[in-house]
Structure 1
Amino acid sequence: MSVEGRKIERQIRRYEFPLLLGLVITWMALWREFSLFTFIGGVVVAFVVMRVFYLPPVELAGRFNLWWCLRYVGYFFSQVAIASLEVAWIAVRPKPVPLRSVIAVRLRTNSDFILTLVGLTISLIPGSFIVDVDRENQVLFLHVLNTPDHEAVEKMRREVAHIERLLIRTLGSREEVKLVG
């Protein structure tokens, strides 16, 4: 194997380590036993899973900002609480079911990791979820509850942009951070 080939393989291995670690922890949690035997079994199972169900490596920016992470977590939990109350009110109020919309939101990031985190965040906040993803164009298609007018749709787009901005400032590359300001 050439020097360049070995370098690429080392990079792939470096990107696979978090997946390996996550699979081993999941294996040990499923067995509800944290011992040397379940750790070794988890490593073996993780290697088999990683070879049989190969996924392309997800490149991480290699940076983490604790301050922006705390802001993201605070924003997320506040939005979950607020949206839970809104959805509960919609469910029990005597009025008819409000209008719903499927909207497209274009993200600024090219990172599959950030795109996935934005999608998961939106789906975990009550009243909205991801219907489809156009990965090539970085567009999320969301089904959103209670969008009676254009302003409500734009408010949701701004919320998605805010979540993306928080995640980029937490985990994004330096170029992406410059992009979002």
Structure 2
Amino acid sequence: MDIKHSLWPSPFNFALLLVVWILLTNSFSVGNLLLAVVLAWFIPFLVSRIQSDTSRVKKPGKAVRYVMVLLYDIIVSNIVVARQILGSAHKLQPGFIEIPLDLREPLPITLLASTISLTPGTVSTEVSKDRQCLFVHALNVPDEAALIAQIKSRYEAPLKEIFGC
């Protein structure tokens, strides 16, 4: 490890943590700014020693777009689920589906499972031991193949691009 990386283990994380700390505390005093600098340096420095080289973000721009799509989907899914719950319960077709995975690394798979669980109406239940399949419960599954295709194109494909896998 060269001297630059030992002093600044993650410049992106440093800047992100600095801004987040200032926004969370809602204080731009000298003392708070100094504390933000110390925390924003120390946390990535501490974490860099335990991080592996696998699953690094290769395309941060795509990651930002992914988060925006996810936020949009969470809002839309809340509305859809509210309508489904307030409507006729016997119109719902809940079910478990098995999604074959193209992802193999633990972090992208975890992010996919978390994305599915964050989106109302679906929850990830398990990843197969061989990381070949993700099992998901959905509140309404009128077309299993369409739901699998939607999850793979809307979430898994972008994660593959983001992490270059």
Partner of residue 27, structure 2: 33
How many Å apart are 1:48 and its aligned residue? 5.7
From 3, 10, 13, the counterpart of 2:5 = 10
CA pair 153-84 structure 1, distance change in 2 beyond 3 A: same
CA pair 70-18 structure 1, distance change in 2 beyond 3 A: closer
CA contact (8 A) 2:70 2:115 kept: no
Distance in 1 of aligned mates of 2:56 and 2:90: 45
How many Å apart are 1:164 and its aligned residue? 1.3
Q: RMSD of the TM alignment (CA)?
A: 4.1
Partner of residue 99, structure 2: 105
- Counterpart check, 1:19 vs 2:48: no
Equivalent residue pairs, number? 162
CA pair 117-11 structure 1, distance change in 2 beyond 3 A: farther
- Deviations along 1:29-62, one digit per CA (max 9) or x if unpaired, are 221113443232123334268638x752464243
Distance in 2 of aligned mates of 1:138 and 1:132: 11
Where do 5+ consecutive residues of structure 2 fail to align? none
Partner of residue 62, structure 1: 58
Partner of residue 38, structure 2: 44
Q: Which residues of 2 match residues 58-137 of structure 1 at below 5 A?
A: 59-64=55-60, 73=68, 77=72, 80-81=75-76, 83-96=77-90, 98-133=92-127, 137=131
What TM-score comes out, normalization by structure 1 length? Answer: 0.62
Distance in 2 of aligned mates of 1:76 and 1:107: 23
Identity rate, percent: 20
Partner SS state of residue 142, structure 1: strand
Where do 5+ consecutive residues of structure 1 fail to align? 1-5, 177-181
CA pair 32-73 structure 1, distance change in 2 beyond 3 A: closer
The aligned amino acid for 1:101 is: G
How many Å apart are 1:113 and its aligned residue? 4.4
- Deviations along 1:77-136, one digit per CA (max 9) or x if unpaired, are 36852x344322221223437342233323212344433443343233321122344586
Partner of residue 166, structure 1: 158
CA pair 48-76 structure 1, distance change in 2 beyond 3 A: closer
The aligned amino acid for 2:160 is: I
